[in-house]
């Protein structure tokens, strides 16, 4: 059975992403910052690659938490993640 965890720990988020060749990115919106994403593999056209400092600035300004999964149900490395509101 697979399970997910939620964190706001910068080191855990960055380590999880980099272990999967993920890069911090944002989809720019008309407002400040943007919609955060982790970009994997080949660069997605609509994603603007950003540095980790900007990523965590947007993360904190929007009071987000990182929901992620380490392994899939069959034990493979998972890339499932999403940003949720902090409790």
Q: Name the pLDDT band for 45 (thresholds 50, 70, 90).
A: confident
67-82 residue pLDDT tens: 999 999 999 999 999 9
Q: Which long-range contacts (CB under 8 A, 24 or more apart) does 12-16 make?
A: 12/66, 13/66, 13/68, 14/52, 16/66, 16/68, 16/70, 16/81
Residue 3: what pLDDT? 84
- Has this prediction a pTM greater than 0.85? yes
Using CA atoms, how far apart are residues 60 and 15, in angstroms rounded to an integer? Answer: 18
3-27 residue pLDDT tens: 899 999 999 999 999 999 999 999 8
Q: Name the pLDDT band for 32 (thresholds 50, 70, 90).
A: low
Using CA atoms, how far apart are residues 10 and 76, in angstroms rounded to an integer? Answer: 24
- Whether 36 and 59 have beta carbons less than 8 Å apart is answered as yes
């Amino acid at each position: 059975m697979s399970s997910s965890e939620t964190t706001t720990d910068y080191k855990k988020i960055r380590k999880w992403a980099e272990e999967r060749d993920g890069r911090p990115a944002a989809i720019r919106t008309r407002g400040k910052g943007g919609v955060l994403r982790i970009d994997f593999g080949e660069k997605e056209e609509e994603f603007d690659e950003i540095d980790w400092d900007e990523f965590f600035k947007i993360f904190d300004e929007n009071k987000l938490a990182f929901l992620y999964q380490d392994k899939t149900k069959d034990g493979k490395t998972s890339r499932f993640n999403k940003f949720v509101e902090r409790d």
